[in-house]
Chains A and B, each alone.
Chain A
Amino acid sequence: MRFTKDHEWVELEGDVATIGVTAHAAEQLGDVVFVETPEVGKTVKAGDAFAVVESVKAASDVYAPLSGEVVEANAVLGDAPETVNADPERGGWFAKLKVANPAEYEALMDRAAYEAFLQTQ
């Protein structure tokens, strides 16, 4: 699993990346009440806002950690957005991307680097 400074996580299997927000991000957001996942078929560039997660108080963008095409969105979050809080780094995934350039994945932080990054925040 790899991580971004915007607190997203990515898991790559073959050329499909599963993306979500980290446990740290979920804790900071507080109770998630709505998630807007991207539409299947949409093409995104790394760094694009591609999903929105909302708490009682505010809406926050989620950025695509990698470039690619959305192949699946997590339908569970429509009825149960609280899954993002309950299981952020597994069941609370947002979307799957067919990645254009796997090298982008290798450039992201591993868990040790992300944990170190959190210490600086």
Chain B
Amino acid sequence: MSETALKTTPLTEAHVALGARMVPFAGYSMPVQYPMGVMAEHLWTREHCGIFDVSHMGQARLTGVSPLSAFEEVVPGDYIGLKAGKQKYSVLLNRQGGIIDDLMAGRPTSADGTPDDGLFVVVNGACKDNDFKVIDDELAGQVESRRLEDRALIAVQGPEAAAVVNGLVPETTSMVFMDIRSLKGLETDLIVSRSGYTGEDGYEISVPAGEAARVWTLLLADERVRPIGLGARDSLRLEAGLPLYGHDLDETVSPVEAGLTFAINKNRREQRDFPGAARIVKELAEGPARTKVCLRVLEGAPAREGAEVADEAGAVIGVVTSGGYSPCLKAGIALAFVPPAFKAEGTKLKVIVRGKAQACEVVASPFVPHRYVRKV
């Protein structure tokens, strides 16, 4: 794709003004890093507060007569049981039980506790056109999806994120992990969730496109806040053990294989009424053919996507789906898919990097502990 064909976000000019290095990502020109650099941006987010432009992601409202029950036809999560004011992570499934995309869907509530009409969903930027086509096709006549192309999305992440956001929007103080609100704040209309994809506490703030640059600048005026690019977003989510669509997840991977069984609620397992339920229920009962593991590289170079994984005898048993260097652990870390016989923590394996077999070990997920705030 040529540079001229790339889309921009409402914050593109702000990134360029900050000296960001811009790269093509999901059809958009996006900041991969700012002058501070990936390593410093990563560590700043773990210690203070980083803000991320994630406006390339697809935001939409799903409305209809019974949007929650209709939505359950394309995902394995319990959305009928989703309380007003909460959001839930799920996966859009194909009929073979493979993952079309992973997403957040929630029921924002206003200040007086009234829930918004229907579901507010956020999907991956690279998948969004197909996702909403699937939803529109599969749920035709039941749900109307209205894409919110006129809104930007800013993630505010890190141990100081709550202090920063609470100071600007006091109504966010009482929110806990996975709460979502429609708020009047920062002199505009916000949709705020206490969530993110770094493993840290934080918020994701949806703002009208025309207000995005002002809100971004307002956040940056706080000395605890730095802008963070896609490079550090990737290393942060990897340390948090979180899968990335198009790398760790694709249309052949089931949520059981990907270690996302928490997203398949108990009542849905019993009802078996989601796409690919036959495969997924079988995998839950008997175990999948392959499973996601977290690997810590014990010697040599970081193992990156595509590196083969071998057993101690040297037989290839799997592949790295995303990997890199952990700034917090100062070691190579990776997500890989292997047969379940090799999934136990402490299992010694090899990763093949440029022809060399390097020692690695299966470790617990996440690599770096999550710091979600579940009560205030």
A56 x B301 contact (CB < 8 A): no
> Which segment, of A13-21, A26-34, A91-99, faces chain B?
A26-34
Q: Does chain B have a CB within 8 A of A100?
A: no
Q: Does chain A have a CB within 8 A of B38?
A: yes
Name B331's closest neighbour in chain A (CB-CB). Answer: A33
B37 x A33 contact (CB < 8 A): no
A78 → chain B closest CB, angstroms: 10
Q: Does chain B have a CB within 8 A of A11?
A: no
User: Please, which residues of chain B bring their CB within 8 A of the CB of A58?
Assistant: 304
B interface, size bucket: 20 to 34
User: With A34-B302, A36-B301 in contact, is A56–B327 under 8 Å at CB?
Assistant: yes
User: Please, which residues of chain A bring their CB within 8 A of the CB of B42?
Assistant: 56
Q: How far apart sit A30 and B34, CA to CA, in the bound complex (Å)?
A: 11
Name A57's closest neighbour in chain B (CB-CB). Answer: B231
A85 → chain B closest CB, angstroms: 9
Q: Which of A30, A31, A54 contacts B301 (CB 8 A)?
A: A54
User: With A30-B33, A31-B38, A34-B301 in contact, is A56–B324 under 8 Å at CB?
Assistant: yes
Interface residues of B in 185-222 (CB under 8 A from A): none
Q: Does chain A have a CB within 8 A of B354?
A: yes
Q: Does chain A have a CB within 8 A of B39?
A: yes
A30 x B354 contact (CB < 8 A): no
B38 x A55 contact (CB < 8 A): yes
Summarize B's interface: helix, strand, loop or mixed: mixed
User: With A56-B38, A57-B38, A57-B231 in contact, is A36–B302 under 8 Å at CB?
Assistant: no
B303 → chain A closest CB, angstroms: 10
A57 x B37 contact (CB < 8 A): no
Name B36's closest neighbour in chain A (CB-CB). Answer: A30
A56 x B354 contact (CB < 8 A): no
B354 x A57 contact (CB < 8 A): no
Q: Does chain B have a CB within 8 A of A75?
A: no
A68 → chain B closest CB, angstroms: 21
A35 → chain B closest CB, angstroms: 9
Interface residues of A in 40-95 (CB under 8 A from B): 52, 54-59
User: With A52-B301, A56-B325, A56-B327 in contact, is A30–B37 under 8 Å at CB?
Assistant: yes
User: Please, which residues of chain A bring their CB within 8 A of the CB of B37?
Assistant: 30-31
Q: Does chain A have a CB within 8 A of B94?
A: no
User: Please, which residues of chain B bring their CB within 8 A of the CB of A33?
Assistant: 39, 302, 325
User: Please, which residues of chain B bring their CB within 8 A of the CB of A57?
Assistant: 32, 38, 231, 234-235, 324
Using an 8 Å CB-CB cutoff, how does the interface string of B1-44 with A read, 1 for contact, 0 for none?
00000000000000000000000000000001100011110100
User: Please, which residues of chain B bring their CB within 8 A of the CB of A30?
Assistant: 33, 37-39, 231
A42 → chain B closest CB, angstroms: 14
A90 → chain B closest CB, angstroms: 21
Q: How far apart sit A34 and B354, CA to CA, in the bound complex (Å)?
A: 14
User: With A54-B301, A57-B38 in contact, is A34–B33 under 8 Å at CB?
Assistant: no
A30 → chain B closest CB, angstroms: 5
Q: Which of A31, A34, A52, A59 contacts B39 (CB 8 A)?
A: A31
Name B304's closest neighbour in chain A (CB-CB). Answer: A59
Q: Tell me the A residues contacting B by CB distance below 8 Å.
A: 30-31, 33-34, 36, 52, 54-59
- List 6 contacting pairs A-B, 8 Å CB cutoff, sorted by A: A30-B37, A30-B38, A31-B39, A33-B325, A54-B302, A59-B301
Shortest beta-carbon contacts, A-B, top 6: A31-B39, A33-B325, A56-B38, A57-B231, A56-B325, A30-B37
Known pairs A30-B33, A34-B300, A57-B234 / 4 extra A-B pairs, C-beta < 8 Å: A52-B354, A54-B302, A54-B325, A59-B304
